[in-house]
Amino acid sequence: MSSTPDRSGVHQAVAQLLDEVVTESEPKEIVDASNLRGQVAIVSGASSGIGRAVALTLARHGMHVGFCFLDEGESSRAAAVEVANDLRQAEVRTYFRACDVRDSDDVRAFVSEVRGELGGIHVLVNNAGIGRDRALWRMEDREWDDVLRTNLDGAFYFIRAVAPHMRAQEYGKIVNITSVHGLRAEFGLANYVSSKAGLIGLTRSAALELGSRNVNVNAVAPGYIRTTRLTAGVPSEILDRARERSALGRLGDPHDVASVVLFLVSESARHITGVVIPVDGGYLV
């Protein structure tokens, strides 16, 4: 009897495994997040996309969730109500309202309201962000200011607002949603790249300043993630190029990001702080 392996069978098995990897739509959670049950999380910009996925993932693990959203009219308000209903179906409490993250007073008031309604603050996920793409020599002051104030100032205002509470209780988890564009520039994104690179710097500074009080501060850097806003606002040729540049040959899913956030706020990541984790399918490779 020959001991030579059946190469066609091996190739077929490998092809099947690769096909299963490519078609897997959502990651399977393997993090022990049992300690999160009953804790309170704030997620900014949670009415859609990555923020929504993060809020629902935390709720499925027993966290009460306070979230804010940008009020852009009836559709955005309806989306926020839908997220709140989904959170309640997970049998957790929620508090939500529109909040202008560029307004430090509004952010401070929202944080205070979440503490009062839900009983504390243990986790903060800074997800709110916008883009206003244009070549830098054509970029207007408003397009620069809006992006920097939303993506960077907003995160700073939230961290500053929750820091006293987390320091006093000597416990806290902060995750900033930055971007691969905070690590690699692309044409037409000077404002966005600057805001996300600044958010990485803020992450490291906050990790250094809050670490002595057992507060972990980390960042997640998504690549191109399938969301309504992305597919509606980004030309198809750019999405095709993103797939081609990705080692995995696909766009990510919001749950890919939410799973990493879950890990970072769990005790599995208790000794990790000040880091940036790309969730980009190998876009930066």
pLDDT range class, residue 1, cuts 50, 70, 90: very low
Tell me the two tokens of residue 182: 């905070």
Which of 12-16, 81-85, 224-228, 278-282 comes out lowest in average pLDDT? 12-16
pLDDT confidence of residue 84:
97
Share of the chain above pLDDT 90, in %: 81
- For residues 53 and 258, is the Cβ–Cβ distance under 8 A? yes
How far the first Cα of the chain sits from its last, in Å, is 45
Q: Is the pLDDT of residue 14 over 50?
A: no
Give the residue numbers marked as catalytic: 192
Q: Is the pLDDT of residue 223 over 70?
A: yes
| CA gap 52, 67 in Å, rounded | 9
Long-range contacts of 13-21 (CB under 8 A, 24+ apart): 21/248
pLDDT digits (tens, 9 = 90+) for 122-152: 999 999 999 999 999 999 999 999 999 999 9
pLDDT confidence of residue 21:
47
Tell me the two tokens of residue 236: 């198809």
- For residues 273 and 216, is the Cβ–Cβ distance under 8 A? yes
More reliable by pLDDT, 228 or 184? 184
Q: What is the mean pLDDT of residues 236-257?
A: 89
Domains of the chain from N-terminus onward: 33-277 (3.40.50.720)
| CA gap 108, 245 in Å, rounded | 41
pLDDT digits (tens, 9 = 90+) for 59-71: 999 999 999 999 9
Tell me the pLDDT of the chain averaged across its residues. Answer: 90
Q: Is the pLDDT of residue 5 over 90?
A: no
pLDDT range class, residue 2, cuts 50, 70, 90: very low
